[in-house]
């Protein structure tokens, strides 16, 4: 299991500070949901973990001292918010791309790679789609295929950027339930950015509220999701209904 | 010459075989020293141009990329025009300065595009735009040189339209190492190009370095294309049409696309050269005319009948 610690992480993009002193501690095998208004720096936080943007401060990922991209890709798998789906690529080939960090780009897929891809397809109910082109699939099916590619990376950490945005309510729950099952099965550490606060409260262990590049609050859903904090950081008026599975956030509009 | 006798004569050229084809010495020499080198050169040039085009399209994720994207055609055209108008050569023969100048011009154009493209940032778009600018600039230079020496018009134009002309085995021997180099490098990077298809950022998240892969593939493809252009002129169309036909028929995976582009590109060029050589015999059509004239209708047919979405 892999824990992650960020200490005073700053990121600037074109002279504009996007992350301003992030401190976060993600326990091995836990699930952290990152919430915050648009432009808070949620995606940049994931990109900083992936080494896709230059960050100062300390990003510690257990077992990862090596900065080579392939080593990082064996530790962190990433499901971007809007993945670029290559034209003409079949589902099985797309999922096998996830094996790249394990064998490098000069080797062919081994029997093991094919077995892992087949297992992931089965796990995500995609067996019937193996020979279809990814582009021909619906939004929900595509999201599962991108998830399958990330799972085929067999990494201890899963980074999800708004994984449910393109999905209807049923598929949202299905996907998050699946992440939760896989986390239990494989001891995954999960960091997900989420827009839907009620869903963010129901899945995962902890929440981190980001605003203007800083972590404003961390803790349990009850601690983070208060009427006051949502008004302050999201500029939204909400009512919060307590429920055994976590708080339910209901927008009330201007009152 | 009867076809079976030609085949026997070809068999006779294979080391370890001694066959009497029944052809006269003159005919045997035509087969071995004129026709065969020309076919081999057509294979090499066609294979190189189409695999270079496929590599460019993959490296830039752009269906309209062809081997001439970074100014190779314009650079080669300028080099050849300077030599021809200066009276330094007639574009025939292996030690002629024309192909050498074309090769140097083509590579110089690519180098300038790379340098200029990196000044404007490291994005793929800035490199393509730099290539467009470099190509326009070099074409303007070439047009100026040509306008100032209008008596060389026809000769320059003939060179530009391209031909698969050989004087014995010199041209195939010159072309072969470049073809091998290009093919070996880009085939080795076929899988990397598949990863690159998901975008630079995701490719990096999958552990590859997109900038390095793109540079290596483009440099290898450019070397091959520059060599092809220098021996055969500016044969257009092959670098776009052959790879896209393969994609429509067999899918977009570079592990399939690149080898099939080599085979079909070579075959297409030999066929085009056959038409160029025989249609208005004893004169020859410029092969660039034939590749577009045959290739365009064929490609539209493939485009209409294929149900694949390739781009």
To the nearest whole Å, the CA of B101 is away from the closest chain A CA by 36
The residue ranges of every structural domain in chain A are 1-75+156-217, 84-154
A208 and A24 in contact (C-beta within 8 Å)? yes
Question: Which is higher by pLDDT, A167 or B121?
Answer: A167
To the nearest whole Å, the CA of B194 is away from the closest chain A CA by 8
> Which candidate from B204, B205, B310 shows the least CB-CB separation from A87?
B310
Residues B237-269 as b/e (b if ≥16 CB within 10 A, e otherwise) read: bbbbbbbbbbbbeebbbbebbbbbbbbbbbbbb
Question: What are the pLDDT digits (tens) for A92-123?
Answer: 999 999 999 998 888 888 899 999 999 999 98
Question: What are the pLDDT digits (tens) for B129-176?
Answer: 999 999 999 999 999 999 998 888 888 888 888 888 877 888 899 899
Query: Range with the lowest mean pLDDT among A24-38, A61-75, B40-54, B87-101?
Result: B87-101
Q: How many CB atoms lie within 10 A of CB A112?
A: 11
- Record: contact B253-A105, CB cut-off 8 A: no
> Does the domain spanning A1-75+156-217 belong to CATH 3.40.309.10?
no
pLDDT for B10 beyond 80: yes
Tokens of B143: 């047009």
pLDDT for B186 beyond 70: yes
pLDDT for A67 beyond 80: no
Helix (H, G, I), strand (E, B) or coil at B253: coil
> Does the domain spanning B37-230+238-305 belong to CATH 1.10.3470.10?
yes
DSSP A134-162: GGGS-HHHHHHHHHHHHHHT--SEEEEES
Q: How far apart are CA B174 and CA B200, in angstroms?
A: 36
Question: What is the per-residue pLDDT for B140?
Answer: 95
pLDDT for B120 beyond 80: no
pLDDT for B311 beyond 80: no
Chain centroid to Cα A192, Å, comes to 3
pLDDT for A189 beyond 70: yes
- Going by pLDDT thresholds of 50, 70 and 90, the confidence category of residue B310 is low
Question: What is the per-residue pLDDT for A22?
Answer: 94
What value of ipTM does the predicted structure carry?
Answer: 0.88
Neighbour order of strands in the sheet with A206-211: A76-79, A157-161, A189-193, A31-35, A206-211, A214-219
The residue ranges of every structural domain in chain B are 37-230+238-305
Q: Does residue B66 have a cis peptide bond before it, meaning omega lies within 30 degrees of 0?
A: no
Tokens of B294: 């045959």
Question: What are the pLDDT digits (tens) for B122-141?
Answer: 678 888 899 999 999 999 99
Question: Chains A and B: how many Cβ contacts under 8 Å?
Answer: 87
Q: How many CB atoms lie within 10 A of CB B64?
A: 11
Question: What is the per-residue pLDDT for B213?
Answer: 93
Question: What are the pLDDT digits (tens) for A31-63?
Answer: 999 999 999 999 999 999 999 999 999 999 988
| Terminal-to-terminal C-alpha distance of chain B | 46
Question: What are the pLDDT digits (tens) for B260-271?
Answer: 999 999 999 999
Question: What are the pLDDT digits (tens) for B243-284?
Answer: 999 998 888 899 999 999 999 999 999 999 999 999 888 888
To the nearest whole Å, the CA of B254 is away from the closest chain A CA by 10
* Mean local confidence (pLDDT), B176-204: 94
Q: How far apart are CA B281 and CA B273, in angstroms?
A: 12
Mutate to test the interface with B, among A64, A87, A133 (most CBs of B within 10 A): A87
Q: Which residues of B touch A (CB under 8 A)?
A: 188-189, 191-192, 194-195, 197-199, 201-202, 204-209, 213, 247, 251-253, 308-311
pLDDT for A206 beyond 80: yes
- Helices B72-85 and B97-119, interaxial angle, to 10°? 140
């Amino acid at each position: 299991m892999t824990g992650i610690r960020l200490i005073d992480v700053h990121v600037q993009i074109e002279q504009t500070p996007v992350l301003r002193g992030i401190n976060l501690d993600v326990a091995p095998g836990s699930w952290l949901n990152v919430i915050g208004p648009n432009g808070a720096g949620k995606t940049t936080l994931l990109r900083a973990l992936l080494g896709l943007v230059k960050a100062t401060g300390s990003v510690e990922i257990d077992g990862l001292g090596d900065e080579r991209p392939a080593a990082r890709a064996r530790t962190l798998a990433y499901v971007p918010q809007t993945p670029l789906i290559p034209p003409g690529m079949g589902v099985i080939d797309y999922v096998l791309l996830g094996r790249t960090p394990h064998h490098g780009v000069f080797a062919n897929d081994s029997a093991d790679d094919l077995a892992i891809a087949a297992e992931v397809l089965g796990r995500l109910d995609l067996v019937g789609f193996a020979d279809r082109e990814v582009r021909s699939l619906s939004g929900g099916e595509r999201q599962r295929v991108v998830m399958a590619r990330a799972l085929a990376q067999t990494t201890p950490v899963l980074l999800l950027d708004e994984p449910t945005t393109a999905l209807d309510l049923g598929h949202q729950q299905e996907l998050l339930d699946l992440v939760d099952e896989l986390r239990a099965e494989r001891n995954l550490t999960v960091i997900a950015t989420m827009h839907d606060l009620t869903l963010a409260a129901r899945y995962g262990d902890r929440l981190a509220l980001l605003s203007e590049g800083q972590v404003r609050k961390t803790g349990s859903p009850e601690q983070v999701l208060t009427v006051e904090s949502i008004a302050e950081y999201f500029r939204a008026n909400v009512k919060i209904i307590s429920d055994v599975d976590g708080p339910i956030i209901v927008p009330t509009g201007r009152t | 010459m009867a076809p079976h006798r030609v085949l026997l004569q070809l068999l006779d050229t294979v080391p370890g075989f001694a066959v009497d084809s029944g052809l006269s010495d003159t005919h045997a020499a035509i087969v071995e020293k004129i026709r065969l080198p020309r076919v081999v050169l057509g294979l090499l040039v066609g294979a190189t141009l189409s695999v270079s085009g496929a590599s460019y399209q993959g490296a830039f994720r752009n269906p309209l990329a062809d081997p001439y994207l970074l100014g190779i055609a314009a650079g080669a055209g300028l080099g050849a025009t300077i030599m021809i108008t200066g009276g330094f050569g007639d574009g025939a023969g292996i030690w002629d300065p024309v192909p050498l100048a074309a090769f140097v011009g083509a590579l110089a154009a690519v180098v300038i595009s790379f340098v200029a493209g990196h000044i404007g940032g490291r994005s793929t778009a800035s490199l393509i735009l730099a290539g467009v600018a470099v190509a326009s600039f070099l074409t303007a230079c070439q047009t100026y040189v040509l306008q100032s020496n209008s008596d060389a018009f026809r000769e320059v134009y003939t060179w530009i339209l391209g031909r698969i002309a050989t004087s014995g085995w010199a041209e195939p021997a010159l072309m072969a190492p470049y073809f091998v180099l290009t093919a070996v490098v880009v085939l080795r990077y076929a899988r990397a190009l598949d990863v690159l298809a998901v975008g630079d950022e995701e490719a990096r998240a999958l552990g590859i370095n997109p900038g390095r892969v793109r540079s290596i593939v483009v440099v290898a493809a450019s070397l091959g294309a520059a060599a092809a252009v220098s021996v055969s002129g500016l044969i257009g169309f092959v670098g776009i049409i052959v790879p896209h036909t393969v994609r429509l028929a067999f899918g977009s995976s570079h592990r399939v696309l690149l080898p099939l582009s080599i085979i079909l590109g070579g075959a297409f060029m030999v066929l085009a050269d056959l038409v160029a050589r025989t249609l208005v015999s004893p004169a020859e059509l410029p092969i660039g005319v034939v590749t577009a004239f045959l290739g365009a209708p064929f490609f539209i047919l493939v485009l209409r009948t294929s149900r694949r979405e390739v781009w």
